[in-house]
Amino acid sequence: MTLQLTDVSAELGGHPVLHDVTLEVRPGELVALVGPNGAGKTTLLSVMAGDITPTSGTACLDGTELRRWKIADLARERAVLPQEQRLAFGFRVVDVVRMGRAPWARRPEEDLDDVIVAESMRQTDVDAMADRAFPTLSGGEKARTSFARVLAQQTSLVLLDEPTAALDIRHSEQVLSRARRLAADGHAVVAVLHDLTVAAAHADRICVLADGRLRADGPPAQVLTPELVAEVYGHPVDVITHQGRTIVLPHLVPIDQEASCAPVH
């Protein structure tokens, strides 16, 4: 399914956050949303999920506005990994992953629940902790468990908000490799990422947000220029190519400037 946003603006608490954003996410591609803190990335992902209705413009999935989708139908077409992994009760890991199968209850697909849950846990390396209570997990273990829930949901559109924030190198690569596999298998995948080098290594396209506006949209090598990155993030960078990969290196802050910013006691 194709996700289309046309001239989308959105507010939070009466405060404008997004301004006239137009973009399309097609099946078979992994799109990275990047930008400085407060750029509107999470809000944009919420609009894509149908959790926030635009104040103007349209957000459509498969040609139908998200606000017109029935909740149950939408849950079978898009899955969301939020920034924070919170649960009110001490569910076991396997039960959390099984929550991803809820949209398929009382349907023929329900017969595959056990197999899909087991495979999703294996792919995210949480199968060995199946009986552990979710609140006892580390931040990274919670993130991997929640990603397993997203995989178990088996949707056409997958939305990931900072999926690697709490993960070590091995598991970060594992999650993003799985996201790339989803795209290769025909899913549409959107991931909010902070590390520009990581985004460039895995994404087919990078969308740069700043002040709630889409500043650039295209292949990593074309979008991540020193000029644009420095302007958007307010910090100079070098962009180099190493073994075919785009690498973004921020300039170091001189020690004397760093000291001048330290609080006085």
Domains of the chain with bracketed CATH: 3-221 (3.40.50.300)
pLDDT on residue 262 = 47
pLDDT in tens, 176-201: 999 999 999 999 999 999 999 999 99
Enumerate residues 6+ apart whose C-beta is below 8 A from 114: none
Radius of gyration of the chain (CA): 19
> Long-range pairs for 53-56 at CB < 8 Å and ≥24 separation?
53/10, 54/8, 54/9, 54/10, 54/18, 55/9, 55/10, 55/11, 55/16, 56/7, 56/8, 56/9
Is residue 19's pLDDT more than 60? yes
* pLDDT range class, residue 109, cuts 50, 70, 90: very high
Residue type, 263: P
Residue 204 CA, distance from chain mean position: 14
Enumerate residues 6+ apart whose C-beta is below 8 A from 200: 206, 220, 221, 224, 245, 246, 247, 248
For the residues 27-39, what does the mean pLDDT come to?
A: 97
CA angle, 23 then 38 then 16, to 5°: 70
pTM: 0.93
Is residue 264's pLDDT more than 90? no
% pLDDT > 90, the chain: 89
Is residue 98's pLDDT more than 80? yes
Q: Which residues of 96-132 are buried (b: 16+ CB within 10 A; e: fewer)?
A: bbbebbebbeeeeeeeebeebbeebbebbebbebeeb
pLDDT on residue 1 = 87
CA pair distance 55, 253, nearest whole angstrom: 40
Output the 3-class SS for the chain: CCEEEEEEEEEECCEEEEEEEEEEECCCEEEEEECCCCCCHHHHHHHHHCCCCCCEEEEEECCEEHHHCCHHHHHCCEEEECCCCCCCCCCEHHHHHHHHHHHHCCCHHHHHHHHHHHHHHHHCCCHHHCCCEHHHCCHHHHHHHHHHHHHHHCCCEEEEECCCCCCCHHHHHHHHHHHHHHHHCCCEEEEECCCHHHHHHHCCEEEEEECCEEEEEECHHHHCCHHHHHHHHCCCEEEEEECCEEEEEECCCCHHHHHHCCCCC
pLDDT on residue 263 = 47
113-123 vs 139-153: helix crossing angle, rounded to 10? 140
For the residues 98-123, what does the mean pLDDT come to?
A: 96
Is residue 132's pLDDT more than 50? yes
